[in-house]
Homo-oligomer: A and B are copies of this chain.
Amino acid sequence: MKIFSESESNVLEEIILNRRDVRGNRFLDKQIPQAELDKILQAAVNAPSVGFSQPWEFVIIKDKHKKAAIKANFDAAKQREQTIFKESREEQYQALKLEGIHEAPINIAVFYKPSCGPVLGQSQMQEAGLYSVVCAVQNMWLMSRALNIGLGWVSILEPDAVKKVLNAPSENQLVAYLCLGYVDHFYTHPELEKLHWEKRKDFSQLVFNDTY
């Protein structure tokens, strides 16, 4: 069996620490080769899944009209979300660039496809199927970064509207909408930390021993 060395685990640590959520202000107008896209999708389908159900589907979006329809939905959703923040925070929110739908050469909509039969391990926690898809997304994110490709997860979207644009089967559930592209720069810290939108939490407050 494969034994990983300390230098190999250090590589993973570096990839994890250098992974960023990338928005349209950083994407370059440069195509992603098919071989790189395939590596990212292979990382996805080798994620863990509950009962080995592999409940994931991927729609690769390059079409400008599809992107425009999704961008319009984002714009409306951002307008609505803005109102939940007050005063200076609302102003700051308004100025934030929170997606890269048009700037990224590739968008990927990632869906949960419920299994037809019963799934081992999913009867007590139905969400485990959705969680499997999220594991796939995180694998894609790390592999993208390792290939020096930026990825941004856009969650300011109405899932049903995205499904309609992509003609998705009614039983499918949108888990993630991703924008991928090469970048001029990866920030050293999360953008929302850098902009003082949120502070990093104190690690010691997040870990408990044996009980709360």
Contact = CB atoms under 8 A, between A and B. Distances in A.
Contacts of A60: 207-210
B51 A9 contact: no
Nearest to A62: B210
A9 B168 CA distance: 32
Of the four ranges (under 10, 10 to 19, 20 to 34, 35 or more), the interface on chain A belongs to 35 or more
Contacts of A212: 59, 166-169
A68 interface: no
A9 B198 CA distance: 31
A208 B59 contact: yes
Contacts of A166: 208, 210-212
Nearest to A1: B186
Interface string A134-168: 11011101110111100001011111000000111
Interface in A58-86: 58-63, 66, 77, 80-81, 84-85
Given A1-B185, A41-B207, A206-B58, A125 B13 contact: no
Contact of A142 (B12, B122, B153, B157): B12
Interface in A94-135: 96, 98, 118, 120-125, 127-128, 130-131, 134-135
B192 A16 contact: no
Contact of A143 (B9, B139, B153, B158): B9
A187 B105 CA distance: 38
A11 interface: yes
Contacts of A139: 16, 138, 142
A10 B9 CA distance: 12
A198 B52 contact: yes
A12 B11 contact: yes
B51 A124 contact: no
A21 B2 contact: no
